[in-house]
Structure 1
Amino acid sequence: MSTPSQQAPIKFAYWVPNVSGGLVVSNIEQRTSWDFEYNKKLAQIAEKAGFDYALSQIRFTAGYGAEYQHESVSFSHALLAATEKLNVIAAILPGPWDPAVVAKQIATIDHLTGGGRIAVNIVSGWFKGEFVAIGQPWLEHDERYRRSQEFIEALKGIWSRDDFSYHGDFYRFHNYSLKPKPLKQPEVFQGGSSRAARDMAAKVSDWYFTNGNTVEGIKAQIDDIRAKAAANNHSVKIGVNAFVIARDTEEEARAVLAEIIAKANPEAVNAFGDAAKQAGKSSPEGEGNWAKSTFEDLVQYNDGFKTNLIGTPQQIAERIVALKAVGVDLVLSGFLHFQEEVAYFGEKVLPLVRELEAGKVALAA
């Protein structure tokens, strides 16, 4: 395995809070807003701080503290228009969206924003109640991922070929030519922890997002995905979710975590947990996202506390480099107070990561 200094610099993304309630299901005070002006300023702060990507969220219905939700594609376009270098990943949910519509939307945004900064995250779906509410059929677990794989294959085909034909179980195209195509083919992200999710990533996706986990747990997933991808003559990059609590002292950071959990909304957390675990356990092997998450894990939607980026800037930087050493290419970050904490991360944590990558400072014993 290559050492961190031999790999490309690890990349950083943040969750776009285009959904109300922040990134924790807690009644703790959060100086984070879902409105556009807040998010516009946040994107500019993140770009200046050295973040590479922003990931918008897709939700259609209220629940678990998310009473309001801005639509992901149009919101992503607006963030791109407000920045110069930041890449923005628009979350897409197969079912409500058709690949032909998405291909055309994203191609147009790519032209309007100069090319190369719009990407998509294909979300296979975990919340049955949301599908029911908007009149969409709810597929079985592995069928949702099979549909997503076809969705990605269709997107990539439309973006790269003229007279594109495709005959799948979910999507069909007959000599379709999209004009204009994107200036640069957009990157395709996906998430999931189940066998079906990992197999899909190993075949068609450019990036794979996994829920937060220990370094050992993440390494096992990465080794599995990369071995399968190699067998498919495919390569995939890895992003891991993490809720970051960076403070001047470890005691301060741990106190914030304790307060988040102490002020968790039990009704909302348990309701989210019931729906999320149903989705995770419904995978044939019972190992999907959230299948084994505890109450504390579920206070942060994507097991972000498990990644343990909680402590001083030095502690967090060292843990990020440890993630990189097992094959992580990107850290997808959530924060309590986004604007202030993204700026702090860029000032205090990211420079230490770069120094550690370059071997300019040694890891603590």
Structure 2
Amino acid sequence: MTTNDSSIKFAYWVPNVSGGLVISKIEQRTSWDIGYNKRLAQIAEASGFDYALSQIRFTAGYGAEYQHESVSFSHALLEATTKLKVIAAILPGPWHPAVVAKQIATINHLTEGRVAVNIVSGWFRGEFAAIGEPWLDHDERYRRSEEFIRVLRGIWTEDNFNFRGDFYRFTNYSLKPKPIDPQPEIFQGGSSRAARDMASRVSDWYFTNGNSVEGIKAQVDDIRAKAKANGHSVKIGVNAFAIARDTEAEAQAVLKDIIDQANPEAVHAFAHEVANAGKASPEREGNWAKSTFEDLVQYNDGFKTNLIGTPQQIAERIVALKDVGVDLVLLGFLHFQEEVAYFGKHVIPLVRELEAKAEAKAGVRVQAAE
């Protein structure tokens, strides 16, 4: 399986939180425990996945009764693998950037640079209230996250670091050892104006919720144009819930079963919280502004990306995403271990074949033009 820097990358959601990736009573042969997750990381690595993304939750809700902490859990997965990169989710507020900078720098050395971070600005007010953390207005949370990222980069690259922001202050602070180069990648998510603008200034990667190819293209074009104006570059990752089966009918039947067995009370509670989060943004929209009940059964609109069908159908849709500027697909599954293995065996090779054909065709066009 041939890959290069231009190949689309694959990541999976780490189930370090109980309840799986859909708010449904359907069987999910997925476990949040460490033994299951170490084996899953090894399967993903062998199957051609590039990244794993751990989740950050502080309180139970929507079926997630148990939650392992993201940084320490990510380190355990890194110790169980040799190539996979693991992205630890970080929530400004509960975490101070000096603590994160030191944690990640150490893990960076212990794992030969395979750790990254995902800065989560936060949308669940009840979670902050439960742990006694102040709740900031929508755009203020993103301003804090931007300062957080600027501070991480400063600590990781400068000696005698000084910073005077609205949220963080540093005076002649030097962290040693600093991370080995290349520096840890910094991811972030969000679909609001504030989230996209922040990505266009400071983040290496921007995660967006699931969407149609047309919807994703609009976001990609917006972010890339703003990033270029800022003298910055940012890569794009999109969320998707994959249901790959031998036939399209089988895949669609699984989707129907997931939705038919959805937990209405939990879905409506989630819908209420995300609606409040969206109304808090100046444009009064957020990640889930146009999500239906069926969309919200998968937390991050993963069904919208439509990676549901045969391996060939899914591979073609992934390449269509790449064609509009997507660099990475972040995947959730119903039964993680067996479905990650199936995806790696049956879908990723088809994606690589389609990429190779497209590159060869582009090369022919270049030669003809010359």
Q: Deviations for 1:129-162, whole angstroms, at most 9, x for unmatched residues? A: 0000000001110000000000000000000110
- State the 1:201 CA deviation: 0.0
Residue 175 of structure 2 is aligned with which of 173, 178, 183?
A: 178
User: Is the 8 Å Cα contact of residues 355 and 361 (structure 1) preserved in structure 2?
Assistant: no
- State the 1:6 CA deviation: 10
- State the 1:7 CA deviation: 7.5
Residue 153 of structure 1 is aligned with which of 150, 153, 160?
A: 150
How many aligned positions are there?
Answer: 358
**Root-mean-square deviation over aligned CA pairs:** 1.5
Letter in 2 for 1:145: Y
Matched position secondary structure for 1:202: helix
Change (3 A) 1:308 1:362: farther
Letter in 2 for 1:12: F
| 1:274-353 correspondence runs (5 A) | 274-353=272-351
Q: Deviations for 1:333-360, whole angstroms, at most 9, x for unmatched residues? A: 0000000000000000000000000008
Aligned to 2:86: 88
| 1:82-121 correspondence runs (5 A) | 82-114=80-112, 116-121=113-118
- What's the TM-score, normalizing by structure 1? 0.96
Aligned to 1:187: 185
Letter in 2 for 1:78: A
User: Is the 8 Å Cα contact of residues 21 and 67 (structure 1) preserved in structure 2?
Assistant: yes
Residue 43 of structure 1 is aligned with which of 41, 44, 52?
A: 41
Aligned to 1:135: 132
User: Is the 8 Å Cα contact of residues 22 and 336 (structure 1) preserved in structure 2?
Assistant: yes
Q: Deviations for 1:232-280, whole angstroms, at most 9, x for unmatched residues? A: 0000000000000000000000000000000000000000111012112
Letter in 2 for 1:143: E
Matched position secondary structure for 1:359: helix
Letter in 2 for 1:50: G
- State the 1:31 CA deviation: 0.3
Aligned to 2:119: 122
Matched position secondary structure for 1:224: helix
Change (3 A) 1:235 1:362: closer
Letter in 2 for 1:152: I
Matched position secondary structure for 1:54: strand
- Consecutive unaligned residues of structure 2, counting only runs of 5 or more, are 362-370
Residue 165 of structure 1 is aligned with which of 155, 162, 173?
A: 162
**Runs of 4+ with >2 A deviation:** 360-363
Aligned to 1:237: 235
The answer to whether structure 1 residue 28 and structure 2 residue 60 are counterparts is: no
The answer to whether structure 1 residue 251 and structure 2 residue 275 are counterparts is: no
Letter in 1 for 2:24: S
Distance in 1 (CA, whole Å) between partners of 2:226 and 2:286 is 18
Identity over aligned pairs, percent:
81
| 1:54-93 correspondence runs (5 A) | 54-93=52-91
Letter in 1 for 2:36: Y
Aligned to 1:207: 205
Q: Deviations for 1:297-333, whole angstroms, at most 9, x for unmatched residues? A: 1000000000000000000000000000000000000
Matched position secondary structure for 1:242: strand
Matched position secondary structure for 1:296: helix
- State the 1:112 CA deviation: 1.3
Distance in 2 (CA, whole Å) between partners of 1:93 and 1:137 is 13
Distance in 2 (CA, whole Å) between partners of 1:59 and 1:196 is 22
